[in-house]
Chain A
Amino acid sequence: MTVRQLLREAIATVRTSRVPSALVALLTAVMCASTLATVGRTVSAEREIQARMDAAGSKVVVLRDAQNKALLPPAVVDAIAHLSVTDRAIGLTVPVDVVNGAIGPGSTPAPSWRVIGDISAVATLEHGRWPRPGEALVSEPARSQLGLTDGYGWVTSGTEDVAVVGTFTARAPFDTLACGVVIAATPSDVAASMHVVARTAADAQRVESLSISLINAPFAQDLAIESPVSLAQLQQQVGRDLGSVSRSLVLGVLGGGALLTAIVVLADVLVRRKDLGRRRALGATRATIVALVMVRTAIPALLGAGVGAAVGLYLANALNAQPGATFAASIVVLSTLAAISSSALPAVYAAHRDPVEVLRTP
């Protein structure tokens, strides 16, 4: 029997056995929808928690030059920024108040930092252009505070004048810069503190140890470290726990659905034993019978998974969760596979029934 003929026979059987087909479709739809709605909510919650812990600094190592020994020059910042486990790294000087140079002393000040390293690691450019060394960007609150009407002009600390060439918004986790001015450092600037963002929370410990070895402080007390390792470990543990809950839920829903589908297919096989016996007597091999039963289950399962995905995504959205396209697609595939694989045993049972037993008329 060719694949085309098998499909044609399976479709014909699906159309004539409407009740079992509808039940298989319904069960697959329920599997898919309930998994997306429940596990999708958990996955979404997991993502939110991870984002919040990231924002809380689970990936950020802060190293401070505690004794002002010039331990954080641009070369060290650059070396740490290029580690494979580093997402971003910058150095910051001690903040200094600046005022609008056009208004002069006595006007409202705003804090300013010199940024050693790639300034785009801490700022997103909103207007204007990226600053050259010795030039600055101003945040929207600082622009308003300084009275820079169009975001351009110059600011002064009293000892140094700096041109403002645009506005920025601070990138997480550098939210403290959101109220001030960032100045692109010159090669002679030395950072007072260094902020290193690891690629993942799991990399935080490695980032910390590599940074310490690159800085090579003469004495331990020369370098003050704000370590995220405990938070990162907590984040990983929370991730593992939530992942475990998600996996249990997926297994529970898919396992239960698969069991019910197997019962429906087995009942269908028993009801249709004469039909299957006739097919065997007329020359269908056991493999053909197995394939026929499984393909005949796969067709309504696919339809049900499609409907279930739509309903599940709608429910997930209503529950304020966005499980994501990859997760949704995975659940559609898993639900369909669960339904198809659950028909394997009833299919094998059907293929091994004795055709004589069902064809003989007493």
Chain B
Amino acid sequence: MNPALEIRDLSFGYRRGGEDLFGGLSHTFAAGAVTALTGASGRGKSTLLYMLGLMLTPTAGAVILDGKDVGAASDADRSRIRARQLGFVFQDAALDPTRTVLDSVLEPSLYAGIPRAVAECHARARLEDLGLSARADHRPGEISGGQAQRVAICRALVNDPVVVLADEPTGNLDRGNAEIVLSALRGATGQGRTVVIATHDPFVIAHTDHEVAL
């Protein structure tokens, strides 16, 4: 299976002339597998994840997605790639508290220009896959933390992305819910999808296929 995501000679510093977090890091993220970005606090796990998610621009090196260097693409192009080819799961789910679960799940589809009827159909299918159909019309305040994180996974998968990026997705969950969320992320690797998780939790690392230690 061809790798969808790769980094070459990657460097990043928050300030000009400041500490280089990665020192020319290169890695190919295996398709159809879950990779953990690990390391002590402050080593740049989340920074690397956001760079893979095209929200930060590397100071040197390349982020290659589907064979194209997209790390230094224009902001508009990166936004379009985020909407269509990447899925995000944030530590605190980051759901809009004023909107229903269904509206939250289909949100990336709107930015990808997918008609609402089609987006709604995809969103309902994702919710059904993760056993959340009954919660479609609930608001985030009416569901549990574990369910909210599964909703975030549905949202990450709604546009059928090639890469799913998760930042400490189980950081706020108990073991039971963490296992359900990790199982959902494992399920996301089907059809050759690449899943990358930034974590320092050994329990999460134990559920991944590869590890990039920073």
Interface residues of A (CB under 8 A from B): 1-2, 5, 8-9, 12, 16, 274-275, 278-288, 354-356, 359-361
Contact = CB atoms under 8 A, between A and B. Distances in A.
Interface stretch (B30-38, B103-111, B130-138, B186-194): B103-111
Contacts of A282: 82-83, 88, 107-108, 111, 155
Contact of B76 (A5, A274, A279, A286): A286
A278 B110 contact: no
Given A5-B116, A361-B168, A361-B171, A284 B79 contact: yes
Contact of B113 (A2, A287, A359): A2
30 contacts: A1-B110, A1-B111, A1-B113, A2-B113, A12-B98, A16-B98, A16-B99, A274-B94, A275-B96, A278-B90, A278-B94, A279-B107, A279-B111, A280-B79, A281-B53, A283-B79, A283-B111, A284-B79, A284-B83, A285-B79, A285-B80, A286-B79, A288-B79, A354-B55, A355-B55, A356-B50, A356-B55, A359-B94, A360-B167, A361-B168
Contacts of B84: 283
A282 B95 CA distance: 11
A310 B200 CA distance: 62
A287 B111 CA distance: 11
Given A359-B94, A361-B168, A287 B76 contact: yes
Q: How large is the interface on B (under 10, 10 to 19, 20 to 34, 35 or more residues)?
A: 20 to 34
A2 B109 CA distance: 11
Contacts of A284: 79, 83, 111
A279 B99 CA distance: 13
Interface in B22-56: 46, 50, 53, 55-56
A354 B90 CA distance: 15
Contacts of B111: 1, 279, 282-285, 288
B94 A5 contact: no
B89 to A, nearest CB: 11
Contacts of A287: 76
B92 interface: yes
A14 B11 CA distance: 42
Top 9 closest A-B pairs, CB basis?
Answer: A283-B83, A283-B111, A16-B98, A285-B79, A283-B82, A361-B91, A282-B108, A284-B111, A278-B94
Interface of B: 46, 50, 53, 55-56, 75-76, 79-80, 82-84, 88, 90-92, 94, 96, 98-99, 103, 107-108, 110-113, 115-116, 155, 167-168, 171
Nearest to B115: A2
B50 A278 contact: no
A284 B109 CA distance: 10
Contacts of B79: 280, 283-286, 288
A12 to B, nearest CB: 7
A5 B115 CA distance: 8
Pick from A8, A16, A354, A361 the residue with the most CB of B within 10 Å: A361
Chain A at the B interface: mostly helix, strand, loop or mixed? Answer: helix
A350 to B, nearest CB: 14
Contacts of A9: 110
Contacts of A355: 55
Contacts of A356: 50, 55-56
Contacts of B155: 282
A283 B155 CA distance: 12
Contacts of B110: 1, 5, 9
A5 B112 CA distance: 11
A12 B107 CA distance: 13
A262 B56 CA distance: 29
B190 to A, nearest CB: 22
B88 A281 contact: yes
A134 to B, nearest CB: 81
A281 B75 contact: no
Contacts of B91: 361
A1 B84 CA distance: 12
A8 B99 CA distance: 12
Contacts of A275: 96
B149 to A, nearest CB: 13
B55 A278 contact: no
Interface centre among B46, B82, B155 (most CB of A within 10 A): B82
A283 B83 CA distance: 4
A275 B140 CA distance: 14
B95 to A, nearest CB: 8
A285 B98 contact: no
B122 to A, nearest CB: 14
